[in-house]
Amino acid sequence: MHQHKHKINMKNTVLLTGTSSGFGATAARLFAERGWHVIATMRDTSKAGDLRSLPNVWVTTLDVQDLTTIDDAIADGIERFGHIDVVINNAGYGQFGIFEGLSREAIQAQFDVNVFGAMDVTRAILPHFRARRAGTILNISSGAGAIGFPMASLYSASKFALEGFSEGLRYELASLGIRVKLIEPGGAPQTGFMARVGGESAGVAVIEDYLPFMQHIGQIYGGMSAASDPDAVEKVVEAMYEAATDGKDQLRYAPTDDIQPLLQARRSTSEPTYQSLTHQLFVSTEA
Ligand code: NAP
């Protein structure tokens, strides 16, 4: 019995947010299959499905907009599994739409979930990581965390914020043995992401002056979506696993093919070259 308990405590434990669907749900399964203890959190646990019945997985409530649920999920998870090694800030959504049509509430909500939610979870886990002089925080960003996308300026703003936060925080935590990493997926139409984008877009005011531009961008996005990496979900969750286990100090992981050319243009070419490329891609000459 004692030996059994000891063995259990030697396992690694990951806590993920947003495991009701998409990357989070698939990643929870992958870590469990590879022998990790998984604290699979979601704001509505009735969406857990078969995650609940998987060995090594414990499903619990965590709404990133509710501090009590964050504290409880972490404390109860530590009590159950002994410790937490990795936290994956995955919960997030895309509030797309022309900026001028967005309400102040919609803007606030996007940052509440994608930015302040990740910060609150991070603040809550740090005392545990600091005491252990170990731990990894994986923040799920996006290609939109490096590139400003039209009709997604707010979503890009939230992911840029997450990137700046992660990059700065990383230096603060390095001396304590704690790592901070970013995953930058490209488009993954297989998750619940686009359905939520559609739902949230319905609330955006239509301003007629933008209609020709919106049509232009709609066509470009249609093409980009068709060219998205068909293995995006697998690649993203494998990158999460790699980032959690590779022992490297690497900050960014961009596992899907579709976003590579733009990321490379952003990071490896001069600013004028990048601007001219994105101008060609996004700016409509017809109005
Ligand atoms: P998804 O299937 O819609 O999953 C998003 C998850 O976040 C869901 O579990 C959702 O829970 C959860 N969530 C939303 N608001 C929450 C809150 N207040 N508290 C806790 N959980 C909340 O989409 P996904 O593609 O897997 O998205 C996961 C992450 O990847 C997001 O951060 C997203 O920005 C990022 N990403 C996605 C793509 C893509 O194209 N799919 C590309 C780049 C980056 P509910 O079911 O309760 O809403």
Query: Are the C-beta atoms of 37 and 248 separated by less than 8 Å?
Result: no
Q: Residue 74 falls within a domain, yes or no?
A: yes
Q: Is the CB of 50 under 6 A from ligand 1?
A: no
Number of domains in the chain: 1
Exactly one of 20, 93, 142, 155 is catalytic; which is it? 155
Does residue 155 carry a catalytic annotation?
yes
Domain with 28 in it: 2-282
Asked if residue 287 belongs to a domain, the reply is no
Token readout for 122 is: 């991070």
* Catalytic-labelled residue, pool 156, 159, 181, 235: 159
Residue 268, judged by CB atoms within 10 A of its CB (0-12, 13-18, 19+), counts as: exposed
DSSP class of residue 102?
Answer: -
Q: Which CATH number covers residue 21?
A: 3.40.50.720
Per-residue pLDDT of the chain (287 residues; tens, 9 = 90+): 344 444 445 899 999 999 999 999 999 999 999 999 999 999 999 999 999 999 999 999 999 999 999 999 999 999 999 999 999 999 999 999 999 999 999 999 999 999 999 999 999 999 999 999 999 999 999 999 999 999 999 999 999 999 999 999 999 999 999 999 999 999 999 999 999 999 999 999 999 999 999 999 999 999 998 999 999 999 999 999 999 999 999 999 999 999 999 999 999 999 999 999 999 999 976 54
Complete DSSP assignment for 72-99? HHHHHHHHHHS---EEEE-------S-G
Q: Tens digit of pLDDT for each residue in 188-205?
A: 999 999 999 999 999 999
Q: Is 142 in the pocket of ligand 1 (CB under 6 A)?
A: yes
104 lies in a domain? yes
In a domain, 201, yes or no: yes
Contact between residue 240 and residue 27 where contact means Cβ atoms under 8 Å apart? yes
pLDDT of residue 117: 98
Take atom 33 of ligand 1 and give the residue whose Cα is closest: 92
Pick the residue whose CA is nearest to atom 44 on ligand 1: 142
Contact 146, 184 (CB under 8 A): yes
DSSP 152: -
Spatial neighbors of 83 by CB under 8 A, at least 6 apart, are: 9, 13, 128, 132
Question: Residue type for 154, please?
Answer: L
22 CA → ligand 1 middle, Å: 7
Predicted local distance difference test score (pLDDT) of residue 285: 66
* Strand pairing report for 252-253 and 86-89: unpaired
Strand partners, 40: 16, 59
- Write the pLDDT tens digit of every residue in 219-276: 999 999 899 999 999 999 999 999 999 999 999 999 999 999 999 999 999 999 999 9
